[in-house]
Structure 1
């Protein structure tokens, strides 16, 4: 009995040490992941002159000023980018979900005769692509360049998302489909009345994947919207602000003229723009978090 109690004490102590070390590692990872965003937030709320005096890490804003946010929100390009990005997110995500759901449902059906060949063809596209130039020529040949559809059609389908959704659809009991078929239900009815209601977690997860991707997308605009600046998404204007100086000079002229603080305010505006373009998509996460983990696990447990 004494030896067993000692073993239990040793095991209990080992578990406590493991939990403490594990929690410390998790906290460390959380800090190094969260701090860059907090740093940008602190800088965006700082006073330009006070920020210029700071070096190293920041644990709070240097002074307090909303001049960066005022300058950003007074920019017509930011609001134009918001309008375009919201359109791309809503329409693009809707189109992507529609085609992903249809494709996932087809390859999830066991009685689909061409399921294996189609699945092999789909997986092949995950590893081999045509390349940038052939893709551009295809988009140009379809007359999609310099239109809103250049931001939606080329990347409409994600094979990975479709495979995850297919896995979720396969978890629906086959007996439900058989019962529905006996009642005269067709595939459309089965999809809308049985499959989709039982796959809400996976649908929410895939929707989030597509929406986040569309929100942060800028490269297609750089390639396909060369003559239509009025169709630029928000991230494209952010890129110009960070990489180029034309928009920054316009913002400075509209807000501070030739003020001696112009150089420091330029940095504040960059930080404020990053926050303005990032916060909206972060707000969506809490509402889908309860579906997110469950949806991802569905796609990882059963293949």
Structure 2
């Protein structure tokens, strides 16, 4: 019986490994294809002749992007927005999540209901823009950061983490030594919350890095544009030039290369950071599956 059990376990592990490997290839190949397509001849790519290795290697797409000074301004602004926005979002989400996890917090149910309501309904673009204008946040860094600084789903996950992992008895014990909620949150709850901090930081960081809509709506000064808006301008510029009958062939090739190169340039920093936070990401995702 023991031998049969081991055989079954071994067969299960093999099948699971094969299925996981297939799924891994399905997920990774599109990204790999974008990489090799960004340095291959576009004609060969569209003809379906680029599979595993680049053909007729060219760096023209990357050269076009990296030689444009706007890219470096965009990188600087995006990094600034990502760092400041992530820190602000962490402060607001962690403090709010802890407050809503306190069992005897007065008005907790009402506030939770209002927060959940915002997941379903919003004020709309025009009222939001008018509000931002009245707050003098248009064409400022805060116009990009503030509208999405707190994600309701992230807040719910954070609240659930505190409810499930910070026992009430721990607070009561600290309270006997004269510790209030503020000191308890700073000195006890936060040090025990490394997992959720890493996960929420990753969520907010990726959202800020990829975000372009707030910048598109609320920014007028090009010196404050994030990377995504500059990449959009470069792409549109290349596509408009490719419509010129005298430059159709050469500029169309260049525009196609720029499209693929843009994906790599915009995604590379996030992909570089993700492996270091992967273990926290897996743990954090499971938090929301226990209780909402």
TM over 0.5: yes
Check if 1:83 corresponds to 2:76.
yes
Shift of 1:149: 0.9
Partner of 2:264: 275
Instruction: Work out the CA distance in 2 between the residues paired with 1:131 and 1:18.
Output: 51
Partner of 2:176: 182
Asked if the contact 2:161/2:196 (under 8 Å) is kept, the reply is yes
Alignment of 1:139-288 (within 5 A): 139-170=132-163, 171-225=165-219, 227-242=220-235, 244-245=236-237, 261-288=250-277
Shift of 1:295: 1.6
Partner of 1:32: 26
- Find the residue that maps to 1:198 and give its secondary structure: coil
Asked if the contact 1:92/1:152 (under 8 Å) is kept, the reply is yes
Asked if the contact 1:203/1:295 (under 8 Å) is kept, the reply is no
Asked if the contact 1:248/1:266 (under 8 Å) is kept, the reply is no
Shift of 1:270: 2.3
Partner of 2:37: 43
CA offset digits 1:165-198 (Å, max 9, x no partner): 1111112121221121111112221011111111
Please report the TM-score for the alignment, with normalisation by the length of structure 2: 0.88
Instruction: Work out the CA distance in 1 between the residues paired with 2:285 and 2:75.
Output: 29
Instruction: Work out the CA distance in 2 between the residues paired with 1:14 and 1:195.
Output: 44
CA offset digits 1:103-148 (Å, max 9, x no partner): 1011111121221111111111111211222212211221211111
Partner of 2:125: 132
Between stretches 156-165 and 131-140, larger displacement belongs to 131-140
Partner of 2:289: 300
Asked if the contact 2:239/2:252 (under 8 Å) is kept, the reply is no
Aligned length: 285
CA offset digits 1:5-53 (Å, max 9, x no partner): 9xx96x888777766555444333332322221111002222x4xx423
Instruction: Work out the CA distance in 2 between the residues paired with 1:290 and 1:25.
Output: 21
- Find the residue that maps to 2:105 and give its secondary structure: coil
Shift of 1:158: 0.6
RMSD: 2.5
Partner of 1:96: 89
Asked if the contact 2:215/2:225 (under 8 Å) is kept, the reply is yes
Instruction: Work out the CA distance in 1 between the residues paired with 2:159 and 2:29.
Output: 37
Instruction: Work out the CA distance in 2 between the residues paired with 1:30 and 1:165.
Output: 29
- Find the residue that maps to 2:56 and give its secondary structure: coil
Asked if the contact 1:240/1:247 (under 8 Å) is kept, the reply is no
Partner of 1:52: 43
Instruction: Work out the CA distance in 2 between the residues paired with 1:247 and 1:83.
Output: 26
